[in-house]
Amino acid sequence: MGIATVNPATGELVKSFDALTDEEIEVCLETAAKASVSYRYLPMEKKSEWMNRAADILERDAKRFAKIMTLEMGKPIKGAIAEVKKSAWVCRFYAEKAAEFLADLPAESDASRSFVRYQPIGPVLAVMPWNFPFWQVFRFAAPALMAGNVGLLKHASNVPQCALAVAEIFREAGFPEGAFQTLLVGASQVAQIVADDRIKAATLTGSEPAGASLAAQAGKNLKKTVLELGGSDPFIVLESADLEAAVETAVTARMLNNGQSCIAAKRFILDEAIAGEFQQKLVEKFQALKVGDPMLPDTDVGPLATPGILEDIDKQVQACRAKGAKALTGGQRLSDRPGNFYPPTILADIPRGTPAYEEEFFGPVALLFRVRGIDEAIELANSTSFGLGASAWTTDAAEQDRLTLELEAGAVFINGLVKSDPRLPFGGIKRSGYGRELSIQGIHEFVNVKTVWIK
């Protein structure tokens, strides 16, 4: 399809864009390199002022930006508005905290004075996915720009208008030319950009193959990368859990963004003691969800972002069913309408050897598993190649301790939804990637941690 806006609710091609030529990419790289020289030494107060202004613009035009997102990738409009506001939050957070996070850090040594100083490294390339087209970009850009780096964005090919809108926000906020640029390029053009000497580091949020490809190219050129990749997060419910709260949260945890979130709960691991009741309540709640036009404020579940994603999730569901998994609700494509709609689906009695045990399900499909007690729950939760987030429900303090200690994940949330928050680090282990975004750890990823020793 190339770089284009295609409405996922109708399949209609709204607008297509030409990818930048090699000559145009060269101009962008040169602009970034030149901007970096002066931008890196600008006072923190100036950068904070611009970053706060970016937040003002996001809040001022939240509805307009939200509509662009919903048009391009189909998330329900209420979620899109919330995403724009959260993007404003991360801008304000780093506008306020960057000075503290990047302050010189005294360290004792044999010098008369020694300390650690954090300095920018230069132009950083961000390759971003379509699922949170604003949030993903701002959570990279806010710390990167506050640290004195300049940013170049290669956004997913199906959200070009989001990509252009974000660059426009930074321009209107007052950031100098070249501090943040959107490059409309396809995935095949990324390698040459990563290899260019003027790019100092790269980050990618997306699938494992894309991450591996970017990291290989960066490795060849000795450049640092941060990778935020897929997940198959467990949602564990043990006997003592507050079942009402767990079920309520389970619906949001699986359905947010039409099920297309890296930290969505994908595998529901239920203690036998409560599994029947949990399952029954979950089916009722899934069946009550309103599937439809994502532009309507009362829609819960919109279309999947692309026909390819619809194909993939349906193939995974059918592969599980063919081997004996039961669909408690949903389980078939909705053929009564255009667009990439898939119904909220729950699979149970899933046999081993099906994709449910190995793969990420990127859509509105909950996978239910029954276990006997915490040992089996932890074992099943950890038996995947991913390690992004984990949500676990129990009121037993000893169980809470074990879960926070033994779950193999970048984040464990007890009695709550796994979520990103500017104040907390975010990232994965195992095949979910490496490095961290957000919080103090996020801003330290793309800086020169300089040792200063003075006698």
- Which residues are the active-site residues? 228, 262
**Order of all β-strands in the sheet with 113-120:** 105-106, 113-120, 447-454
> Residue 434, Cβ neighbours under 10 Å: how many?
17
Task: Name the residue among 442, 427, 451, 452 with its Cα closest to residue 149.
Answer: 442
Distance CA 202, CA 195 (A): 10
List helix spans (H) across 223-372. 243-255, 272-287, 307-322, 355-358
| Binding test (CB under 6 A) with ligand NAP, winner from 54, 84, 128, 144 | 128
Is 183 a binding residue for ligand NAP by CB under 6 A? The answer is no
Return the residues of window 244-263 that contact ligand NAP according to CB under 6 A: 262
Number of residues that bind ligand NAP (CB under 6 A): 30
Binding region for ligand NAP (CB under 6 A) out of 41-49, 153-161, 267-275, 390-398 = 153-161
Is 184 a binding residue for ligand NAP by CB under 6 A? The answer is no
| Binding test (CB under 6 A) with ligand NAP, winner from 161, 205, 345, 394 | 205
> At its nearest, how many Å lie between ligand NAP and the CB of residue 427?
7
List Cβ neighbours of 229 (8 Å cut-off, separation of 6 or more).
Answer: 205, 206, 207, 208, 211, 262, 386, 388, 428, 431, 432, 433
| Binding test (CB under 6 A) with ligand NAP, winner from 79, 129, 330, 364 | 129
Binding region for ligand NAP (CB under 6 A) out of 34-42, 59-67, 82-90, 123-131 = 123-131
Binding pattern to ligand NAP, positions 382-401, x when CB under 6 A? ------x-------------
Tokens of 93: 């957070």
Q: Which is nearer to ligand NAP, 179 or 184 (CB)?
A: 184
Q: Is 402 helix (H, G, I), strand (E, B) or coil?
A: helix
List Cβ neighbours of 429 (8 Å cut-off, separation of 6 or more).
Answer: 387, 408, 409, 410
Distance CA 262, CA 282 (A): 21
Q: Which is nearer to ligand NAP, 79 or 231 (CB)?
A: 231
Q: Which is nearer to ligand NAP, 127 or 443 (CB)?
A: 127
Question: β-strand 123-127 against 201-205: which pairing, if any?
Answer: parallel
Distance CA 327, CA 351 (A): 13
Q: Which is nearer to ligand NAP, 169 or 204 (CB)?
A: 204
Measure Cα distances from 77 to 12, 158, 296 in Å: 19, 17, 7
DSSP notation for 38-60: HHTTS-HHHHHHHHHHHHHHHHH
> At its nearest, how many Å lie between ligand NAP and the CB of residue 28?
16
| Binding test (CB under 6 A) with ligand NAP, winner from 81, 121, 127, 381 | 127
Is 292 a binding residue for ligand NAP by CB under 6 A? The answer is no
> At its nearest, how many Å lie between ligand NAP and the CB of residue 30?
22
Q: Which is nearer to ligand NAP, 21 or 280 (CB)?
A: 21
Is 231 a binding residue for ligand NAP by CB under 6 A? The answer is yes
Is 150 a binding residue for ligand NAP by CB under 6 A? The answer is no
Is 131 a binding residue for ligand NAP by CB under 6 A? The answer is yes
Tokens of 226: 């941060």
> At its nearest, how many Å lie between ligand NAP and the CB of residue 260?
7
Q: Which residue is nearest to ligand NAP (CB)?
A: 206
Is 5 a binding residue for ligand NAP by CB under 6 A? The answer is no
Is 360 a binding residue for ligand NAP by CB under 6 A? The answer is yes
CB 303 within 8 A of CB 339: yes
Binding pattern to ligand NAP, positions 322-341, x when CB under 6 A? --------------------
Output Rg (C-alpha) for the chain, integer angstroms.
Answer: 23
Distance CA 46, CA 48 (A): 5
Is 101 a binding residue for ligand NAP by CB under 6 A? The answer is no
The beta strands (E) that lie in 121-229 are given as 123-127, 150-154, 180-182, 201-205, 224-228
> At its nearest, how many Å lie between ligand NAP and the CB of residue 183?
11
Is 207 a binding residue for ligand NAP by CB under 6 A? The answer is yes
Is 87 a binding residue for ligand NAP by CB under 6 A? The answer is no
- Residues near ligand NAP (CB under 6 A) are 127-131, 154-157, 186-187, 190, 204-207, 210, 213-214, 228-231, 262, 360, 362, 388, 428, 432-433
